[in-house]
Amino acid sequence: MAYNCRFFHLVVLILLVSVHKEALATKHVVGGSNGWDESTDFDTWSSSQTFKVGDQIEFKYTSGLHSVVELPSESAYKSCNIGSPLDSLNGGSNTVKLDKAGTRYFTCGTSGHCEQGMKVKITTVGADASSSSTTSPSSPADASSATTATASASSSKAQFLSFFTLIGSLVLAVVQFNVW
């Protein structure tokens, strides 16, 4: 009976850690406070972010005016060739999970918007990579992006501390109740 109780507690502990690890993922709103809009400088925005495996990117835009098209290659991205998309999304709000390291390319499917710069390249690094984006902003738009990145980093640190608080509480409970 004691073995079954220990096994049950171990399973619960593993589930809690797994669920909390998922909560540590960051959700990046593409374009920051401007969202998915042709007035946003997506190169500056994306270079101020660190995208890790498990994170999500959220496209927020005016439905009917914009859409999201995932392109298959860098050459399609550079030439704004949306003829063979990997995915097409619409509806005004779409979330894409970054499930593996590598580079993904997105653009707006509305005619002419890609050519006007409404496209973004997202490079995802392994989940254990550290943030290395610490450049100072050179314009108000850059300052907005830097503020968004700082808020995201602060949120990640809070989630990280929360994770270790949870683990500490679980260890304390195990020791206190002599479960093991």
- List pLDDT tens digits, range 18-71: 544 555 689 999 999 999 999 999 999 999 999 999 999 999 999 999 999 999
This prediction has a pTM of 0.64
In this predicted structure, the answer to whether residue 139 has a pLDDT above a threshold of 80 is: no
Q: Is 3.50.50.60 the CATH number for 2-176?
A: no
pLDDT of residue 13: 55
pLDDT of residue 125: 94
Model confidence at 148, pLDDT cuts 50, 70, 90, reads very low
Do 59 and 94 form a contact (C-beta atoms < 8 A)? yes
The strand pair at 87-89 and 119-125 is best described as unpaired
* Arithmetic mean of pLDDT over the chain: 77
Give the Cα separation of 47 and 149 in Å (integer): 10
Cα four-point dihedral sign 129, 133, 134, 140: negative
